[in-house]
Amino acid sequence: MIEFDRFVLENGLRVIVHHDANTPMVAVNVLYDVGARDEDEQRTGFAHLFEHLMFGGSENIPEYDEPLQMAGGENNAYTTNDITNYYVQLPLQNIETAFWLESDRMNALAFSEKSLDVQRKVVCEEFKEHYINKPYGNAWDLLRTLAYKRHPYKWMTIGKKLEHIEEAQLQDVKDFFYKHYRPANAVLCVAGNVSTEQVKVLAEKWFGNIPAGEKYVRNLEQEPRQTAPNEIVHEADVPLNAIYKAWHIDGRLSPGYYALDLATEIMGNGFASRLHLKLVKEKKLFSNINCYQTGSLDPGLVVIEGKIVEGQTIEEAEAAINEELDKLLDLGVTDEELQKAKNKIEAMMIFEDMSLLSRANNLAFYELLGDAHLINDELEKYNAVTADFLLETVRKVFRKENSNTLIYKKKNG
């Protein structure tokens, strides 16, 4: 059970306080309700590029990192298709430095041309390092484009292409900031040996007078129900053939999400999972195979991906995946398998809770989903899944007409 207090400033900033008397550090987490799904299709990658610019100085503080490092702090940030999250951890004594820094960049960025110019280049190098200059690096780009025709999940957080990043202008940066980076669209979570009263005083002082801004109302085009299977074959200079298969699943808060997450554990997470035992160990068709889901807030994807052993055919490998899925859809899972999946999730949550930052981040995340209390209901939701309900869920998901298959083929192979 993770205890916390919650209050809202007049400008709409939601604040969560988590008391932990056992740590000398404090975590300050600011979550903004904006991700790559909120981008214009002609300007993809912008939410992430913007995240970089948040470190380029704010109206009153030329350098974000320096004062924080002087205060013994460490920080970072990440952007997903759904959200953008900034976090700081520093010795408790210096908590106010984090409030000063975070509030000044929420109040107004410096909007520096130099910072934009440099970060465009840095992000382009990040793009190259992770998505161009790596074997199979563009697989997710291909898969998203295949599975999503309307919903903005069709592009990756990093963006569709380098040009979108290279073309970003300072005016775009300003517009984005005032649209999305207002208190009404943010959650602040403070975790450590602090009292709610202390945090109230600090939050009022530093964040209280930031103009509320307009609450961003998300109105995304939803993905229509897929009615026929999609498949593409992509050839590239890679050493091994690979298969990626993806199916649409329910949104983050629906009961089907939890059932499906448990199904991915049983099918493809770990050396005792079904796909590993059958396809890697017994049939020796794949050198590795995984099953996971994207964890997105809007309806996401469940994915099975694996690299095929040299000499085995793509057809045989794919047929073997389908055979395992048929077995799942026919017979469901055993009670023991289900219990194992629940045990794994429970242990994972407890290990995650060891980290102060992770608790702060999760509290902010669930608050953004609607209510920080959700953090304490998660395990119950997993435990409530029965083998029957799991079977019902996987039968809805793993249908042929809901499937998207990317065959990643080696050239001349």
Which residue in this structure is represented by tokens 């999305």?
180
DSSP characters over 385-409: --HHHHHHHHHHHS-GGGEEEEEEE
Instruction: Answer yes or no whether residue 377 interacts with another protein by CB under 8 A.
Output: no
Which pair of tokens denotes residue 48? Answer: 């992430």
Which pair of tokens denotes residue 157? Answer: 């957080």
3-state helix, strand, coil in the chain (%, to 5): 50, 20, 35
Find the shortest distance in angstroms from Cβ 191 to another protein: 12
Please say whether the dihedral angle defined by the alpha carbons of residues 136, 142, 143 and 144, taken in this order, is positive or negative: positive
Burial of residue 252 (CB within 10 Å: 0-12, 13-18, 19+) is middle
Using CB under 8 A, which residues numbered 95 to 124 contact another protein?
96-97, 99-100, 103-104, 107, 117-124
Q: Which is nearer to another protein, 83 or 266 (CB)?
A: 266
Tell me which of 237, 330, 335, 380 binds another protein, using CB under 8 A: 237
Rounded CA gap, 307 and 280, in Å?
A: 10
Using CB under 8 A, which residues numbered 181 to 220 contact another protein?
205-206, 209
DSSP characters over 227-248: -S-EEEEEEES-SS-EEEEEEE
Residue type, 79: T
Find the shortest distance in angstroms from Cβ 44 to another protein: 18
Applying CB under 8 A, the site for another protein has a residue count of: 79
Rounded CA gap, 329 and 264, in Å?
A: 13
Instruction: Answer yes or no whether residue 67 interacts with another protein by CB under 8 A.
Output: yes
Tell me which of 344, 381, 396, 399 binds another protein, using CB under 8 A: 344
Q: Count H helices, E strands: the chain?
A: 15, 11
Q: Which is nearer to another protein, 59 or 392 (CB)?
A: 59
Which pair of tokens denotes residue 383? Answer: 């435990």
Find the shortest distance in angstroms from Cβ 183 to another protein: 15
Find the shortest distance in angstroms from Cβ 132 to another protein: 5
Check if the beta carbon of residue 84 is closer than 8 Å to that of residue 299: no
Rounded CA gap, 79 and 135, in Å?
A: 23
Tell me which of 10, 41, 175, 310 binds another protein, using CB under 8 A: 310
Q: Which is nearer to another protein, 280 or 301 (CB)?
A: 280
Q: Which is nearer to another protein, 22 or 227 (CB)?
A: 22
Instruction: Answer yes or no whether residue 229 interacts with another protein by CB under 8 A.
Output: no
Rounded CA gap, 127 and 274, in Å?
A: 34
**Candidates 55-63, 148-156, 243-251, 324-332; binding stretch for another protein (CB under 8 A):** 55-63
Find the shortest distance in angstroms from Cβ 133 to another protein: 5
Q: Which is nearer to another protein, 126 or 172 (CB)?
A: 126
Binding mask 269-308 for another protein (x = CB under 8 A): -xxx----x--xx--x--xx------------------x-
**Candidates 4-12, 85-93, 365-373, 379-387; binding stretch for another protein (CB under 8 A):** 85-93
**Candidates 170-178, 322-330, 332-340, 392-400; binding stretch for another protein (CB under 8 A):** 332-340
Find the shortest distance in angstroms from Cβ 114 to another protein: 9
Q: What are phi and psi of 60, to 5 degrees?
A: -110, -5
**Alpha-carbon Rg for the chain in angstroms:** 23
Tell me which of 10, 41, 113, 125 binds another protein, using CB under 8 A: 125
